[in-house]
């Protein structure tokens, strides 16, 4: 049995990835605030309605998940840190403090805590273990009004490399990879397009990208992410800047 822990599965890339991973040989644990009814109804899938902003509650969620993982049956275990928020979309001095905190909690702190607990629970298992962090080109390509998002994604890339260094090629190492998934037509893009131009002038860029047909679908992105997650390209510490290469 392959076990998958996926965050942010209520919509977008996470939802598409979860649908594509459903199989008799797979068991999925899906996490988001809003339950996705069509996923929750599927066999071989536990839907966990949880707000990753509640950092202290993450440990209980992971304990519950690992209680359900059968170490005898487990052939491999995967964690995909996919959940994210894009707000605040404004210069930092005009960004509400609660949005700043929320951004760093969801985009950086939650993946760090999930990674820590995942490795803690699985390090003794002599099976394939992988953590895929869904990052963004925003880690490097900066636009005004997205400092929190870019900082969190750059932090996620550095965190992935640091943990990959710790794990290295030791016995039972957990492999950690960070990926930039490209530009995908999801709620996150919509939020950037619809943001107030007064505070977020870069919304024009997001509208141009949409108008020029440059956005890919969540389904196509999820296909590539699934291939990366399960395939040979998943090498310790890799930062995949071009998922579609």
Site for ligand NAP in 51-110 (CB under 6 A): 51-53, 82-85, 106
Asked if 147 interacts with ligand NAP (CB under 6 A), we say no
At residue 68, φ and ψ (nearest 5 deg) are: -90, -10
Query: Which residue in 119, 17, 39 sits closest to 6, CA to CA?
Result: 17
What is the C-alpha R_g of the chain? 17
Chain residue at closest Cβ approach to ligand NAP: 12
Catalytic residue among 3, 47, 78, 149: 149
Q: Which member of 60, 187, 194, 235 binds ligand NAP (CB under 6 A)?
A: 187
134 binds ligand NAP (CB under 6 A): yes
Stretch that binds ligand NAP, among 45-53, 93-101, 194-202, 232-240 (CB under 6 A): 45-53
Q: Which of 95, 103, 115, 136 binds ligand NAP (CB under 6 A)?
A: 136
Fill in the per-residue mask, 4 to 43: x = in contact with ligand NAP (CB under 6 A), - = not in contact: ---xxxxxxxx-----------------xxx---------
Q: Which residues of 73-112 are buried (b: 16+ CB within 10 A; e: fewer)?
A: ebebbbbbbbbbbbbbbbeeeebeeebbebbbbbbbbbbb
- The tokens describing 222, both together, are 């999820």
Q: Is residue 203 a contact point for ligand NAP (CB under 6 A)?
A: no
CA distance 44 to 61: 18
């Amino acid at each position: 049995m392959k076990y998958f822990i996926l965050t942010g599965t209520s919509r977008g890339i996470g939802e598409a990835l979860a649908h594509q991973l459903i199989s008799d040989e797979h068991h999925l644990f899906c996490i988001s605030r809003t339950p996705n009814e069509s996923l929750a109804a599927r066999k071989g899938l536990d839907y966990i309605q949880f707000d990753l902003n509640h950092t202290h509650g993450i440990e209980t969620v992971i304990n519950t998940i690992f209680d359900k993982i059968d170490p005898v049956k487990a052939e491999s275990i995967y964690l995909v840190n996919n959940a994210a928020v894009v707000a605040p979309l404004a210069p930092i001095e005009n960004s509400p403090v609660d949005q700043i905190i929320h951004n760093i909690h969801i985009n950086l702190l939650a993946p760090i805590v999930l990674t820590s607990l995942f490795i803690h629970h699985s390090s003794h298992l002599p099976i394939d273990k992988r953590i895929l962090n869904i990052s963004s080109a925003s880690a490097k390509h900066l636009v005004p009004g997205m400092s929190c998002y870019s900082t969190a994604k750059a932090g996620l890339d550095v965190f992935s490399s640091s943990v990959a260094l710790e794990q290295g090629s030791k016995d039972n190492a957990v492999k950690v990879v960070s990926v930039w998934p490209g530009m995908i037509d999801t709620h996150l893009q919509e939020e950037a397009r619809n943001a107030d131009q007064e505070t977020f002038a870069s919304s024009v860029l997001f509208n141009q990208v949409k108008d020029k047909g440059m956005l890919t679908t969540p389904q196509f992105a999820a296909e590539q992410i699934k291939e990366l997650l399960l395939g040979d390209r998943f090498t310790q510490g890799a930062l995949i800047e071009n998922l579609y290469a």
